[in-house]
Chains A and B, each alone.
Chain A
């Protein structure tokens, strides 16, 4: 039953399945209806499910998330789209002070099954505010779950699971991988939403990544193999919760860890991983945990993004350094 499809199409199929399965599921956001979203992720959904369930909203991110909270309180399961990563901040207050905390402050009486889809990351030559990776800004907040698929199959299944979750889930979609195709088996038994997956086995160094950087790490592992180095690649898939057990198991084997993400290194998810893996694997580590990511500078103009984003060479450079200890 497996079918090869692009990551964007896989999310589209997943949303379609959810809309079919549960009349309480809603899709809402700017331009998600007639246009099908600026990336066409919601293409055709309004035509098939109507304006009442696939809702073009006013251009107001706080309003989108705030009304989604109200709809969830009424029993709906809204899947909202924030058009680009850099536009989520007007909704940050609603996400952090309301969405994340309402279950706790109601002493468990209220559940908010809201999914917030955010196309994120760079590499598509976009203008300012269209290439950012703000996942750490959300991972710091208790009450939210943060996931990011790296391929079409995960995108399909993780969206199904995110919609079924009774917790708010921020679903970071690697926009530069939207058009990458892979096999999606809609009949498969899904892999647990918050569990990491070894996508390439190796013995010398572990590369840990999620979303758009998994592919870069896989390519780096292929290149390193030609130099006789065996790199293990771990697709973390979920940033909160983070699967430290899988990280630990891999690092106990390879004894070296490089974390790769597009987001700035400073206070990024790599920092938390480095700290916790150091605690867990202190006597196994042959070298400090290294991080490869964005710089402590605003995301640069598109002509500079290749220098800013971690690429094959920067990952291999970190591999060299971690092996030099």
Chain B
């Protein structure tokens, strides 16, 4: 499947322009109320109205109706894929699924801001970013079905394997970015993590290393308000984006349900990285509409009225409203997309059901790159053990 790219490649901009200046006033702490919208970058209101933003408008000003429809299509297909995966878990085809429902704008907006040569370090929930990178959705499902622990070549799409240990990948992203800087390459790195991960030491250490070495990395935090059952209040006393200030680089909070704003802010942050201006923290303020994973039961720790309130800010609905209001899309477009969406669901369903179990000897594969005597010995022992059953069966 080819994924339509909506991210316009931009030329490098000369350094020192306003948006790229470290210590921008958006990072100054005025102790805003937790969760207040005061500092929120928003380009599309929940009702789908375009609001002007003098700092960030220029990052999306050239966006075409076709590209807007592309963003919409990305979000719809990602949500459809996600819903299919949840169903497949309920049907017993997957052992677990971590749904991204509600976070489509944060992921598609940031994902479409990337250039091909940029490198992504995801958590285990970045299905929308994977989509933008051109990773086949069915490849994401191998680990959730239990046939592998990561079924794609990270260098194939510059999309690293999903990382389950919370926050670990932010250090890998920082190290990778240090390497990019050493190479003098004109690319950037983006590290995804969440509000829960912001409490991890590895995330703090990655901020330190990135700042000290001025690494070209964007820290993209999707604050979806919940770390399984724990609200953001259990992770922080200050809005997360303000953490960046203490490390010496800018932080900005963006409406994570506004795909245009996420696109613009991420482009700005990536541009800073490419211009040698170092790391940026982007906090995408969003909401995990579903459970943490299919093993979770959110009714035990949060009220449904919270979810209902966030439904009114749905990322897909607001772009749809905007597309309709501006005549950038007609009913034919939506109908066609609906059909494409169902086809995707069908394709994913069939692919998962057809996914074979791995060969038994896969246990011993790739434990080491240069081999290890013990692995060889145990593989041989396992083979002999398996063969002993074959003898019994064969000797009937």
Residues of A bordering B, CB below 8 Å: 52, 57-58, 60, 62-63, 65-76, 90, 93-94, 97-98, 101-111, 142-143, 145, 165-167, 194, 240-244
Contact = CB atoms under 8 A, between A and B. Distances in A.
A165 B372 CA distance: 12
Given A73-B172, A74-B176, A62 B367 contact: no
The 10 A-B pairs of least Cβ separation, nearest first, read A70-B175, A66-B171, A74-B179, A67-B175, A63-B205, A105-B149, A166-B369, A70-B176, A108-B366, A70-B172
Interface string B141-161: 000000011110111000011
A70 B165 contact: no
- Dominant SS at the B interface? helix
B393 interface: no
B180 interface: yes
A248 B208 CA distance: 50
B374 to A, nearest CB: 5
Nearest to A111: B369
B219 to A, nearest CB: 13
Interface of B: 148-151, 153-155, 160-161, 163, 165, 168, 170-180, 182-183, 201-202, 205-206, 208-209, 212, 365-370, 372-375
A241 B179 contact: no
12 contacts: A63-B171, A63-B206, A63-B209, A70-B173, A74-B178, A76-B179, A76-B182, A94-B202, A98-B163, A98-B172, A165-B369, A167-B372
A105 B177 CA distance: 22
A142 B208 CA distance: 30
Contacts of B173: 70
Given A103-B369, A142-B375, A241-B372, 15 more contacts: A58-B205, A62-B202, A63-B205, A67-B175, A71-B179, A73-B176, A90-B201, A94-B171, A97-B165, A103-B368, A105-B149, A107-B151, A108-B369, A242-B373, A242-B374
B150 A106 contact: yes
Contact of B205 (A60, A109, A110): A60
A74 B182 CA distance: 10
B171 A167 contact: no
A62 B374 contact: no
Contacts of A93: 165, 168, 202
A237 to B, nearest CB: 14
A69 B154 contact: no
A107 B172 contact: no
A160 to B, nearest CB: 14
Given A58-B209, A62-B205, A70-B171, A107 B150 contact: yes
B143 to A, nearest CB: 8
Contacts of A72: 175
Nearest to A90: B201
A107 B168 contact: no
A194 B368 CA distance: 14
Given A90-B201, A167-B369, A73 B175 contact: yes
**B170, B171, B209, B373 pick with most chain A CB within 10 angstroms:** B171
Contacts of A63: 171, 174, 202, 205-206, 208-209
